[in-house]
Structure 1
Amino acid sequence: MSVAARRDPADRMLSIRTIYHEPDVESWPRGREVLERFPDAERVVVPSHQDIPGLYGNAGSVESWVRNKREVLVLGEKRSLQARPNGRSADFIAPSTSNGCAMACSYCYVPRRKGYANPVTVFVNIERILGYLERHAGRQGPKPEPNQCDPVDWVYDLGENGDCSVDALISDNVRDLVELYARLPHAKASFATKFVNRDLLGWDPRGGTRVRFSLMPRQMSRRLDLRTSPVAERIAAVDDLVEAGYEVHLNFSPVVLHEGWHDEWRELLREIADVLGPAARAQLACEVIMLTHNAALHDVNLGWHPRGEELLWRPDLQESKTSHSGQENVRYRARWKRRWLDQLLELIGTELPGCRVRYAF
């Protein structure tokens, strides 16, 4: 085993040198805990976690895209607490306990809003967020009927704007959330991840948290999933998490199409079928999401990882699409996308029988 492989995952992912923080973060216990966790980092007070001159909106920051993810941390307070209805992967999108990510997936949609840098922002008012979520879940009562999110529980997506497995290296916010949903009736937490954090195995989720491992063929992942856990390592972790009390689903996302994609996906699905044990297979489900890209993100990526754009930016296959938030995105042309999606769904049914597809688009 190499020295790099033996290193603590937090050391490999993070080497925090600068912490930008709002003036009042030390009034929160979680803020003090995080500052104490990185005692050697330079502290820079900023008026808002969303307003950091020289970091966000600075085109020059793109040259330090990965370095900022590794070395910069932002602390602030989450002021707007709202569980938004969803209906796809989850019934509700929970208010974020973080924003941004230390990983560097070149298709990530979060940088579309943040500009030329996307390090992790941790929200320190976790007590308020936990209280809000407990009250919200209490108001829902029992789920009246099954839906594609879950047959029994109301599902709350925790990690819309980041990766909870990485966030758990920085603070105890994610553990607090897992412990909350372990005891809440009629409610379940859910988050997608591309990082294997084995600390999660020591927690006690009691079936109240669904971990969704995002997967794509390994050849594609090597080009696009920068700073993530290898695909084989993610697959190998499924059985362990199921044994530890988590529900574990798969997130085939984004599906990036190119010449030879069908054979690559067949290979991935066969690997999953070979590795997963009976307990994991018995509870397995997946979601399938075809790539959506964005011109502004394309321009950012050209500044730090142009080779990835050779796969993501395909005008010969894509067309413009206005998102629900009003952004101008690109997606695979509708008349072809349905055909390709059906081919992948057929492949899942053949190579991974018994894996329920919760939704696909």
Structure 2
Amino acid sequence: MTDVVPHSRLLDIRRIFVEPEAAALPRGQQVLARFPDAERVEVDSHTRIPELYGDESNVARWVRIKTETLVLGVKKSLTARPNGRSADFIAPSTANGCAMACAYCYVPRRKGYSNPVTVFANIERITGYLSRHVARQDVKDTPNQCDPHAWVYDIGENSDCSLDARVSDNVRDLVACFRDLPSAKASFATKHVNRDLLDWDPRGRTRIRFSLMPARDAKLLDIRTSPVAERIAAIDDFVAAGYEVHVNFSPVVVRDGWLDDWAELLDQLDAGIGPRAKGQLAAEVVFLTHNDRLHEVNLGWHPKAEEVLWRPDLQQPKRSQSGGWNVRYRIGHKGRYVAALTELITARTPYCRIRYAF
């Protein structure tokens, strides 16, 4: 496995499953025009495509489906869910799925045996909803771990917005929407460096969280993503372009030598960014949570990843809301792991405020 794939090879769209309502909207027409040679397959619903979701044989074609397939639909239900950890609210998705193939990603747990990008074409309805939702909030007069002043909306819970921006202008429209909302910020995590975003003039109203992990872990787990060194090298440029830039140390995988590798990564980060980036840097620290259903999927296409992700000797199960089993590091042991890493972050990058760690 390798984590280096040119963006031109991440998406080679040959088939688009499309809802007629989405195809009739301007954003849907834009997406279809971007991939003029792709076969179009009309579907009643973007969530009910039997040959994509629920077909176990698709596991063997996991990456190929991500590369060659796109789904174009309409987001029916619009809600901004309270969060309180990374963001105050989770915004309605403008996409889900991904062309990258991180072995620990939770999104495929809900979708079955393939996980291509789904783009929602009703972007005007989504941005209108968000503007009205922000307007209904009182002034944020109590600082919290999300932000001291602004209401933070995560716009990329189920996808990677930097990669979504190569498919449609949805993310650009969201950045423009929040640019004019002085009491709110957009936020998203990414493992894909897309320098097209540098021209979008966010004016401090969009927070990008570059996800980082030691190169040894990334090579095994962060499949088809931008190399970690490239993500670090992009931080200064995105700060200069008007973004607030944080980092996600996520997921933290416990294995032999893990703390030594994290020390090396922190030193790389310290050497790779300048004073302006350091002055505004903050981090989220998230230890691995894995899932029995994703474990079974991964065994079909990337079993080596499961040697570090699925560790019954270190993990304990907990029933998930969807009826499966999540596994996370054992209570007691995990507290020691969190303390060891946060102490290391404080020692190696003392300017990096830890927003939360769990």
Q: How does the TM-score come out when normalised to structure 1?
A: 0.97
Quick check: 1:234 aligned with 2:234? Answer: no
| Distance apart, 1:141 and its partner CA | 3.2
Q: Which amino acid aligns with 1:184?
A: L
Quick check: 1:212 aligned with 2:214? Answer: no
Aligned residues: 355
1:1-361 map, 5 Å: 10-323=7-320, 327-361=324-358
| Distance apart, 1:325 and its partner CA | 5.8
Q: Which amino acid aligns with 1:216?
A: M
| Distance apart, 1:307 and its partner CA | 0.7
CA deviations on 1:67-91 (whole Å, 9 max, x unpaired) are 0001000000000000000000000
Residues 280 and 69 from structure 1, CA distance in 2 versus in 1: closer, same or farther, beyond 3 angstroms?
Answer: same
Given that 2:293 and 2:324 are in contact with CA atoms closer than 8 Å, whether structure 1 keeps it comes out as: no
Q: Which amino acid aligns with 2:45?
A: S
Q: What SS class does the counterpart of residue 145 from structure 1 fall into?
A: coil
Q: What SS class does the counterpart of residue 105 from structure 1 fall into?
A: coil
Residues 22 and 250 from structure 1, CA distance in 2 versus in 1: closer, same or farther, beyond 3 angstroms?
Answer: same
Q: Which amino acid aligns with 1:82?
A: T
Given that 1:107 and 1:224 are in contact with CA atoms closer than 8 Å, whether structure 2 keeps it comes out as: yes
Whole-Å Cα distance in 2 between the matches of residues 272 and 279 of structure 1?
14
| Distance apart, 1:332 and its partner CA | 0.5
Whole-Å Cα distance in 2 between the matches of residues 327 and 270 of structure 1?
38
Whole-Å Cα distance in 2 between the matches of residues 302 and 327 of structure 1?
17
Q: What SS class does the counterpart of residue 332 from structure 2 fall into?
A: helix
Whole-Å Cα distance in 2 between the matches of residues 65 and 245 of structure 1?
36
Whole-Å Cα distance in 2 between the matches of residues 240 and 125 of structure 1?
31
CA deviations on 1:206-240 (whole Å, 9 max, x unpaired) are 00000000110001000000000000000000000
| Distance apart, 1:322 and its partner CA | 2.9
Q: What SS class does the counterpart of residue 334 from structure 1 fall into?
A: coil
Q: Which moved more, 1:314-323 or 1:125-134?
A: 314-323
| Distance apart, 1:11 and its partner CA | 1.5
Whole-Å Cα distance in 1 between the matches of residues 319 and 154 of structure 2?
24
| Distance apart, 1:278 and its partner CA | 0.3
Structure 1: state its 5+ residue gaps: none
* Structure with the larger RCO, 1 or 2 (CA within 8 Å, 6+ apart): 2
Structure 2: state its 5+ residue gaps: none
Given that 2:179 and 2:206 are in contact with CA atoms closer than 8 Å, whether structure 1 keeps it comes out as: yes
CA deviations on 1:37-84 (whole Å, 9 max, x unpaired) are 000000000110000011101000011000000100000000000000
Given that 1:141 and 1:186 are in contact with CA atoms closer than 8 Å, whether structure 2 keeps it comes out as: no
| Distance apart, 1:145 and its partner CA | 1.0
| Distance apart, 1:10 and its partner CA | 4.1
Whole-Å Cα distance in 1 between the matches of residues 319 and 208 of structure 2?
30
| Distance apart, 1:255 and its partner CA | 0.3
CA deviations on 1:89-125 (whole Å, 9 max, x unpaired) are 0000000000100000000000001010000000000
Residues 117 and 311 from structure 1, CA distance in 2 versus in 1: closer, same or farther, beyond 3 angstroms?
Answer: same
Q: What SS class does the counterpart of residue 104 from structure 1 fall into?
A: coil
Given that 2:292 and 2:324 are in contact with CA atoms closer than 8 Å, whether structure 1 keeps it comes out as: no
| Distance apart, 1:193 and its partner CA | 0.2
Given that 1:194 and 1:228 are in contact with CA atoms closer than 8 Å, whether structure 2 keeps it comes out as: yes
Q: What SS class does the counterpart of residue 293 from structure 2 fall into?
A: helix
- What percentage of residue pairs aligned between the two structures are identical? 66
| Distance apart, 1:303 and its partner CA | 0.3
Q: What SS class does the counterpart of residue 20 from structure 2 fall into?
A: coil
Whole-Å Cα distance in 2 between the matches of residues 323 and 347 of structure 1?
31
Residues 81 and 243 from structure 1, CA distance in 2 versus in 1: closer, same or farther, beyond 3 angstroms?
Answer: same
Q: Which amino acid aligns with 1:304?
A: W
Q: Which moved more, 1:136-145 or 1:330-339?
A: 136-145
CA deviations on 1:258-278 (whole Å, 9 max, x unpaired) are 000010000000000011100
Given that 1:181 and 1:189 are in contact with CA atoms closer than 8 Å, whether structure 2 keeps it comes out as: yes
Q: What SS class does the counterpart of residue 161 from structure 1 fall into?
A: coil
Whole-Å Cα distance in 2 between the matches of residues 88 and 327 of structure 1?
23
Whole-Å Cα distance in 1 between the matches of residues 341 and 294 of structure 2?
26
| Aligned residues: CA RMSD | 1.1
